[in-house]
Amino acid sequence: MRSYPRLPVLGWSAFSGERAAPTRGVLSARHRRYTTSGRAAIALALRALEIRPGDKVLVPTYHCPTMIAPIAQSGAQPFFYPITASGGADLEWLQHATLAGARAILATHYFGVPQPMSRLRAFCDAHRIALIEDCAHAFFGVSEGIAVGSRGDIAIASLPKFFPVPEGGLILSATYPLKKLDLAPCSWRDEVKAAVDAIEVDEGLSGLDPDADEFIVVQEVGHGFEAGQLAVLISILAASLRQ
């Protein structure tokens, strides 16, 4: 039986063909910062929006633990809302819910299917609730004529779900500058660790899941490399040696 890698694998074929995606996506946003994971990006989004301990953050009932952990760690209170059969926020339920103390809502594009966001955007504006658009499953896509990630005050994305890197996340915004975020530099130890994980991924092994870490680490650039670039280079080398 042939085995398949859990994550995308990088080879020389990745450097042929089109140089730009035909579909718009999160990289269309004006402001972008790279992090170690989607979970770290959520933590940064909460920080950027000045979410305080005791504030409520609306989160979908269908979720993974990595969506809730940054909220709990910040001291904020997760407040669960239901979703519709299509995966969008149940606006009728939200309209009748008691939302006192709610400062933000996390809305997800599940399984690569862009959700309509205009009505939720209007709801958030009417209730002065910040919209965090979760694009971890939808790096590319257009909803109502606008690239995913463009409706939210802030959006987040995850790189390993779409690209052959063992770690990486993205926080972005069409309107909210992110330069004030203080990101710690990446150490050489972290770079070497990421490189080893990249080789494991390239060999079809599980590698390290950055969203499964027991703590949140935020990094940007270290020794001239963005987070994970050394890992990508070694992954390319490993692929070329087998060909």
Per-residue H/E/C for the chain: CCCCCCCCCCCHHHHCCCCCCCCCEHHHCCEEEEECCHHHHHHHHHHHCCCCCCCEEEEECCCCHHHHHHHHHHCCEEEEECECCCCCECHHHHHHCCCCCEEEEEEECHHHCCCCCHHHHHHHHHHCCEEEEECCCCCECEECCEECCCCCCEEEEECCCCCCCCCCEEEEECCCCCCCCCCECCCHHHHHHHHHHHHHHHCCCCCCCHHHCCCCCCECEECCEECCHHHHHHHHHHHHHHC
pLDDT recorded at residue 135: 96
Residue 125: band (very low, low, confident or very high) from pLDDT cuts 50, 70, 90: very high
Mean residue pLDDT of the chain comes to 80
Across residues 178-205, what is the average pLDDT?
Answer: 69
pLDDT recorded at residue 108: 95
Q: Which CATH class is domain 14-180?
A: alpha beta
pLDDT recorded at residue 43: 94
Say yes or no to pLDDT of 54 above 90: yes
Across residues 177-193, what is the average pLDDT?
Answer: 77
Say yes or no to pLDDT of 207 above 60: no
Say yes or no to pLDDT of 217 above 80: no
Domain ranges, ordered by start, for the chain: 14-180
Report which of 35, 32, 46 is spatially closest to residue 177, judged by C-alpha positions: 32
Across residues 229-241, what is the average pLDDT?
Answer: 50
What percent of the chain has a predicted confidence (pLDDT) above 70? Answer: 72
